[in-house]
């Protein structure tokens, strides 16, 4: 528990824009006002994620790419609103990985139904059934979206939902990727 508290305190207390030498400061408008950009990158804990066939995956599979890691659940109302924008972001910016992780008890059938109802076609099905990764990363509510650099470290975090395919969000992500 202490690890979660320290992780959350470090992540929440980050200095916006410092990690990117001010390159995103002027871009934090609209939903991106909620994005906390960390002064220093934060290493992530090891975690096993399961896909729809129960095969194991890890975030290390995405090293070398920028990642938009989204913690969500099928029962989460703001997640229902946000998920289609993440799907559109994956299509609009294929150079980055959009990785939704269903946190807690999320039945594969319910996830498939959720994706179908939301029109999600470009996103993988990944689950954190015991919330191990979410807990270790200090995710206390949903949705939470974490931006990872190509080294697999957390560089920014947004608590709550956002329109991830908006011009503002894409501008912030492109600025980060250009650094």
Residue-wise pLDDT tens digits, 71-105: 999 999 999 999 999 999 999 999 999 999 999 99
Tell me the per-residue pLDDT of 154-169, one tens digit each, with 9 for 90 and over. Answer: 999 999 999 999 999 9
Helices 167-178 and 77-92, axial angle in degrees (round to 10) = 60
Q: How confident is the model at residue 23 (pLDDT cuts 50, 70, 90)?
A: confident
CA angle, 85 as apex, 170 and 167 as ends, to 5°? 25
Give me the phi and psi of 80, to 5 degrees please.
-60, -40
Residue 118 scores a pLDDT above 50: yes
Task: State the average pLDDT for the chain.
Answer: 90
Q: What domains can be seen in the chain, in order of their start residue? A: 2-178 (3.40.30.10)
In this prediction, residue 25 carries a pLDDT of: 82
In this prediction, residue 21 carries a pLDDT of: 43
| C-alpha distances in Å from residue 33, one per residue of 12, 61, 82, 152, 173 | 14, 30, 16, 23, 13
pTM (global) more than 0.95: no
105: number of Cβ within 10 Å: 13
């Amino acid at each position: 528990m202490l690890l979660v508290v320290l992780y959350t305190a470090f992540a929440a207390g980050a200095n916006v824009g410092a990690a990117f030498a001010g390159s995103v400061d002027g871009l934090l408008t609209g939903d991106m006002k909620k994005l906390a950009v960390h002064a220093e990158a934060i290493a992530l804990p090891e975690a096993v994620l399961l896909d729809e066939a129960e095969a194991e995956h890890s975030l290390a599979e995405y090293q070398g790419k920028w990642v938009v890691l989204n913690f969500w659940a099928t029962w989460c109302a703001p997640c229902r609103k946000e998920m289609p924008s993440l799907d559109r972001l994956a299509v609009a910016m294929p150079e980055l990985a959009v990785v939704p992780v269903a946190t807690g008890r999320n039945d594969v059938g319910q996830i498939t139904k959720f994706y179908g109802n939301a029109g999600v076609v470009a996103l993988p099905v990944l689950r954190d059934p015991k919330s191990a990764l979410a807990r270790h990363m200090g995710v206390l509510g949903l949705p939470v979206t974490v931006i990872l650099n190509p080294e697999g470290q957390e560089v920014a975090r947004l608590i709550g939902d956002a329109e991830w395919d908006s011009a503002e969000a894409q501008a912030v992500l492109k600025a980060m990727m250009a650094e």
